[in-house]
């Protein structure tokens, strides 16, 4: 797997250009920076001076601290009760989605002698976490009381559910979010308001407010059909480990879902679903070999994948095939792979396993 630091920088710069210089950026680096490698991603983007970083778990936040990250690190998923103390000790910013969590953090802060830094999570339609915006009159007084000294209230945010496809939904969620903001009688100075993801930042940058939270667009995945196309950041490669001439009717793979239709030449690639190549690409996906698009045939195995190279001359054991990326005049995008596999680009990238080495290019400029 190759990862381009230069492409990552350029995609980040496009988000920056969309929202303007006064808006903070909080790159989402959860799930090992969407599968690309968090250590290198942080190294590259630290030079861009982001406001902070976004993760999903306390362990991910602690790992950033181990990389000497000093900026705010926000944990965007609800924190399990037994992780609160470690999170507060690491100086992570925690999102508060319920009064139970609020009470727990206040108690932990008093016990360890630290005032926890928190971001108020308001649910305006995503539904998975956050305080219900329609019931602000019930929960807001308790939160405001804690904000008088028991917590360090840093930010207030919501999650967009359909920014990739529906501008109207973004405006509707913003209106609901604004109703909650209007209920805050005396917000703390510098309270950071943030709601836009990559798609929202490109579609409605006028709603950027204090910060935005770019994710998939930075890593090379599209964020809506009508949105700008990002520069590919990651490419996936595998070597040819075996060649064979298959006679007509020769069976292939588990379940024998493919048989040679005539005299064919097959190449076995040293990659499989244990590396993160989607199993669903069997008999559907493609690879690029010597600049030619060749079909994946049979089921993808845990460690091997076979392509039909009939008509492609000169292929040798050791040649490198491309399963994601560009070779010659052909390209296979992460979005194409996702569509063929019946999933989304997020799952394709985050599914690339640790068995694949991440080879970064362009890091010298970081």
The 10s digit of each residue's pLDDT in 193-210 is 999 999 999 999 999 999
pLDDT value of residue 226: 85
- Asked if pLDDT for residue 365 goes beyond 70, the answer is no
The confidence score (pLDDT) of residue 327 equals 94
**Which of 168, 193, 219 is the C-terminal boundary of a domain?**
219
Instruction: Examine residue 224 and state whether it is found in any structural domain, yes or no.
Output: no
Q: pLDDT for 228-246, tens place per residue?
A: 999 999 999 999 999 999 9
Enumerate residues 6+ apart whose C-beta is below 8 A from 60: 29, 30, 31, 38, 75
Residue after which a domain boundary falls, among 195, 219, 243: 219
Nearest to residue 348, comparing CAs of 230, 231, 216, 224? 216
Whether 193 and 275 share a structural domain: no
- Please, how many CA atoms are within 13 Å of residue 329, restricted to the half-sphere of its CB? 0
| pLDDT tens track for 26-50 | 999 999 999 999 999 999 999 999 9
Q: Are residues 129 and 49 in the same domain?
A: yes
227 in a structural domain = no
Q: Considering the chain, what percentage of its residues have pLDDT values greater than 90?
A: 98
Q: Are residues 73 and 102 in the same domain?
A: yes
Residue 217 confidence (pLDDT): 98
Same domain (yes/no): 253, 210: no
Domain count, the chain: 2
CATH number (domain holding residue 191): 3.20.20.10
Task: Name, in order, each residue with C-beta under 8 angstroms of 222's C-beta and a sequence gap of 6 or more.
Answer: 216, 229, 230, 333, 335, 345
Residue 127 region, left (φ>0) first, then alpha (ψ -120 to 50), else beta? Answer: left
* 80-85, Cβ contacts within 8 angstroms, sequence gap of 24 or more: 83/57, 83/58, 84/108, 85/111, 85/112
The verdict on 335 and 309 lying in the same domain is yes
Specify the pairing of strand 93-96 against strand 131-132.
Answer: unpaired
The answer as to whether 129 is a domain residue is: yes
For residue 252, being part of any structural domain is answered with yes
Stretch 326-336: mean pLDDT, rounded?
95
Q: How much is the pLDDT for 364?
A: 77
Average pLDDT over residues 283-308: 98
Tell me: do 265 and 159 sit in the same domain. no
CA terminus-to-terminus distance, the chain: 20
Q: Is residue 342 part of a domain?
A: yes
DSSP state for residue 29 in the 8-state scheme: -
Tell me the residue range of the domain where 109 lies.
2-219
226 is a domain residue? no
**Domain termination site, one of 219, 248, 278:** 219
Closest CA to 196 of 156, 231, 157, 154: 157
- Tell whether 156 and 278 lie within a shared domain: no
Residues 152 and 295 in one domain: no
The answer to whether residues 210 and 262 belong to one domain is no
| CATH number of the CATH domain containing 290 | 2.40.37.10
Compute the distance between CA of residue 285 and CA of residue 297 in angstroms, rounded to an integer.
8
pLDDT grade, residue 308 (50/70/90)?
A: very high
Assess if residue 225 is contained within a domain: no
pLDDT digits (tens, 9 = 90+) for 110-166: 999 999 999 999 999 999 999 999 999 999 999 999 999 999 999 999 999 999 999
**Same domain for 320 and 350:** yes
The residues assigned a catalytic role are: 30, 254
Average pLDDT of the segment spanning 221-233:
94
Q: Residue 16 above 70 pLDDT?
A: yes
Domain shared by 240 and 209, yes or no? no
Give the C-alpha distances (Å, rounded to integers) separating 6 from 19, 36, 84, 233, 276: 20, 14, 37, 8, 24
**pTM, 2 dp:** 0.95
- Condensed to tens digits (0 to 9), the pLDDT of residues 161-187 reads 999 999 999 999 999 999 999 999 999
Asked, for residue 228, whether it belongs to a domain, the answer is no
Rounded distance between C-alpha atoms, residue 266 and residue 244, angstroms? 5
Indicate if 10 and 155 belong to the same structural domain: yes
């Amino acid at each position: 797997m190759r990862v381009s630091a230069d492409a990552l920088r350029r995609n980040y710069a496009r988000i920056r250009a969309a929202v303007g210089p006064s808006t903070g950026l909080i790159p989402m680096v959860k799930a090992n920076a969407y599968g690309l490698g968090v250590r290198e991603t942080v190294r590259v983007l630290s030079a861009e001076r982001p406001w902070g970083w976004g993760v999903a778990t306390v362990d991910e936040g602690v790992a950033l601290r181990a990389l000497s990250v000093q900026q705010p690190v926000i944990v965007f998923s609800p924190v399990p009760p037994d992780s609160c103390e470690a999170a507060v000790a690491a100086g992570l910013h925690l999102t508060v989605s319920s009064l139970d969590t609020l009470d727990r953090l206040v108690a932990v802060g008093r016990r360890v002698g630290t005032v926890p830094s928190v971001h108020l999570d308001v649910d305006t339609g995503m539904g998975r976490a956050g305080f219900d915006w329609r019931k602000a009159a019930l929960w807001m007084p308790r939160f405001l009381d804690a904000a008088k000294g028991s917590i360090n209230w840093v930010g207030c945010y919501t999650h967009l559910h359909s920014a990739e496809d529906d501008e109207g939904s973004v405006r509707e969620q913003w209106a609901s979010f604004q109703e909650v903001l209007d209920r805050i009688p005396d917000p703390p100075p510098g309270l950071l308001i943030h709601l836009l993801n990559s798609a929202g930042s490109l579609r409605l940058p006028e709603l950027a407010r204090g910060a935005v939270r770019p994710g998939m667009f930075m890593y090379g995945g599209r964020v809506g059909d009508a949105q700008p196309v990002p520069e590919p950041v990651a490419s996936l490669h595998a070597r040819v480990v075996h060649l064979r001439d298959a006679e007509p009717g020769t069976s292939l793979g588990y379940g024998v879902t493919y048989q040679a239709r005539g005299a064919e030449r097959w190449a076995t690639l040293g990659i499989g679903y244990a590396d993160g190549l989607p199993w669903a690409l069997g008999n559907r996906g493609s690879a690029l070999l010597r600049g030619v698009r060749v079909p994946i045939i049979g089921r993808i195995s845990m460690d091997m994948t076979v392509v039909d190279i009939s008509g492609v001359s000169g292929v040798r054991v050791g040649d490198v095939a491309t399963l994601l990326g560009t070779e010659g005049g052909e390209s296979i995008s992460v979005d194409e792979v996702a569509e063929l596999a019946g999933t989304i680009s997020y799952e394709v990238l985050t599914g690339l396993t640790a068995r694949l080495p991440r080879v970064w290019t362009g890091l010298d400029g970081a």
